[in-house]
Amino acid sequence: MTQSTTDLPKFIDDDPQQIVSELITAYQNKSGKTVYPGQVERLLIDLIAYRESVTRAAFNDAGRQNLVAFARAPMLDYLGELVGVARLPAQPARCKVQFSFMPDRKQQVIIPAQTQVAGRSDFRFQTVAQQVVAPEASSVVLDVVAQLPGQAGNGYQPGEISQLVDDLGVKVTVANVDVSAGGADAEDDERLRQRIRLAPESFSVAGSAAAYRHHALRANQSIVDVAVVSASSQSVGVPPADQVPPGEVRLYPLVADGLPSDAILKAVNDTCSADRVRPLTDKVSVLKPVEFSYQVVAMLKLYPGVDAQQTKQRAKDALLAYQKQQQAQLGQDIVPSQLIAVLSVPGVYQVDLRQPTAIQQVPAHGWAHCVNGADGISVDQKEQANG
């Protein structure tokens, strides 16, 4: 939960006007003189009051750095140490690259660890481990990792990583066979704050849902939400084929750009299946959330005299902001009335929402995904309202 500025705790009063009033009163009591605006004494009092208010504000800020809700780096990191939580460092992107050889090759080829391949803008990846390729093998698929951590290595489509930087002594072509993913920048303060608050749940040895959520979030900082589903928590009326058997815990991580890659799923599984994390009787399964795709198609009827293009753009911006918030969480129902409210920006008289037409309930492990963004928004140019 983000605290508003009105919730800021004050350890000492730092109101400048109050400080000025106190200094004037103290001076008048000591000197027996009345202080008027414009006097040299008043100017000196204002100067002293300014420095005093700045100092008191600094005291208050220092005090807030002891509270998880308001702390910033590096104090937030020190608070995390108290509950065993450390900021996640930047992570490199990963993918698989196929090395293909000429069919008439007679000798084996050694692909050393850290053999470099590159994609657009000469962004480089390197192999994780050494691989010996037998003469009869025409190709081999290897795991590669970005040389530089961060999000820059994400999103290389199959075939875009196609440059072999290091010479292997034989003719070889390279191409990635899947989309590079898993790269993430260093964890920001808000996400670290969320994990610090969840950390006490991990002290339980009973495998609570919040404990699994805490451990899943620390697997990779690109994870923005996690659904934890067990036999006791699954929705009523789930088809038998989809029911979670007793003793199994299913985790559904969601990343910032949508569904997780296999590398993210593996990272979550490794983290949450560790002996010091998973209760002995639990079987942990990590799966991709179920995608619930929908489109938004709407016609906007405007008031007379408004700028149609500007109003349409405001409506599209509002819709995209709503989608960004909705798609960063799991289990968000698709509600037509909410979409109508979002599109009803100033200048819009009526919203004719054509898709979706009915509420679509999304389970806890489901991801509501609008596939057409704001492209389905149009303006009725023929008819305008009179008010």
Give the end-to-end CA distance of the chain in Å, rounded to a whole number: 40
* pLDDT for position 375: 93
CATH 1.10.3470 for domain 204-288: no
Helix pair 336-343, 308-326: axis angle to 10 deg = 140
Domain boundaries, the chain: 5-64, 94-176, 204-288, 292-379
- Residue 228: strand pairing partners: 251
Pairing state between β 290-294 and 366-370? parallel
Tell me how far apart the alpha carbons of residues 306 and 240 are, in angstroms, rounded to a whole number: 54
Ranges of the chain whose pLDDT falls below 50:
1-2, 4-5, 236-237
* pLDDT for position 128: 95
pLDDT digits (tens, 9 = 90+) for 201-225: 777 665 688 889 999 999 999 999 9
Contacts (Cβ under 8 Å, ≥6 apart) of 214: 195, 198, 199, 201, 202
Tell me how far apart the alpha carbons of residues 85 and 217 are, in angstroms, rounded to a whole number: 11
Contacts (Cβ under 8 Å, ≥6 apart) of 26: none
